[in-house]
Amino acid sequence: MAVLLAYFSVVLIWATTPLAIQWSSDSLSFMAAAAARMSIALALALSFVAILRQSFAIFWQHRLIFFAASIGIFPNMPVVYWAAQFIPSGLVAVIFAMSPFVTGLMTLLLLKQNPFSLKKVLALLLALIGLIVIFYHQLHFDFRSVYGISGILLSCVLFSFSSVWVKKLTEQQAVTLDAFHQATGALLFALPGLLLGWWLMDGDLPQTVSVKSAGSIVYLAIVGSLIGSALFFYILQRLSASVVSLITLMTPVLAILLGKNLADEDLPAHTLFGVGLVLIALLFYSSLTLAAIKNWCSQKLLSGLQSRAIDVDGNAESAIREARDDMIRYK
């Protein structure tokens, strides 16, 4: 239940962050807004580590894992911001919905596991068709679109590569890092690149910051970067990278539904039809997702029973040895 709650919490957070990202750039450049967001998030995270009196050595000890996780923030985030200048937001959502396919390919290459099955491929294709139907009116192509499409495709590769590489490293090194430290480590290794990018592309401190920008940056730092990243790494530890990548399919659909209910936005017939296709595809895929969660829970339960059995056997052997020693002493 905790895994499902964390999973859908990430979906909700990712569905609300696009609007916050737009608002954060109200009085700042996109690189300044991104760097400020990550700086605040990292400052809060390191403050928690210091208050809890935890060692900072863990960030160097597992530096390769944290570096792999940071790729999903930098250079991925500046690539998305840059590409979004050239294509509509709807096209961004459709292209980024290719992430499950790219993640599956990365899983095949890095983990030597084949996540593809006929049911999965059909479900993902149906979801992609649904997203195309939803955003069809925004799918306008011109020469500038080549930059945007290339950038979002590169972002898909970076996001998928980061997720699968983190999964591979944690399995290879047989380490269990809590989600908070993973999120903090990712921010720690990503922030220098973001600050360097801001200095090269902007470099000027803003004279004034609007309330909209400030509020959005604080929301993104706490909810988007700290809570959202921690929950993302939490579910990544417990589910396959392919199942986690399905979040990119749910996010645009939920964003549309939130816009309808919270901002009273219009929902034309073709949008409702596309949303229906995506929901059907996700329901078709959900049986596989629930099966993966069930298998994980079963494995945890089985390993727990085995460890208890070993403890019982160990206690029994210890009791026998003590009884034998007592008998020897008595004789």
What is the Cβ-side half-sphere exposure of residue 12, based on CA atoms within 13 angstroms?
9
Beta-carbon contacts of residue 168 (< 8 Å; ≥ 6 apart)? 110, 111
Confidence of residue 190 (pLDDT cuts 50, 70, 90): very high
| Rounded Cα gap, residues 95 and 99, in angstroms | 8
- What's the full length of the chain, in residues? 331
Which pLDDT belongs to residue 306? Answer: 57
In the predicted model, is pLDDT for residue 189 greater than 90? yes
The CA–CA distances, whole Å, from 228 to 234, 235, 298, 312 equal: 10, 11, 27, 40
Residue 288, token pair as written in the block? 């596989």
Q: Is the model's pTM score more than 0.75?
A: no
**153-168 pLDDT per residue, tens:** 898 899 889 989 998 8
Q: How far is CA 20 from the centre of its chain?
A: 17
Question: Coil, helix or strand for 98?
Answer: coil
Secondary structure (3-state) at 175: coil
DSSP 39: H
Query: Which among 298, 168, 190 is positioned nearest to 240, based on CA atoms?
Result: 168
Q: Is 294 left (phi over 0), alpha (psi -120 to 50) or beta?
A: alpha
Closest to 39 measured CA to CA, from 247, 199, 259, 249: 199
pLDDT digits (tens, 9 = 90+) for 254-308: 766 666 666 555 667 777 787 778 777 766 765 555 555 555 555 655 655 555 5
Identify the pLDDT of residue 309.
47
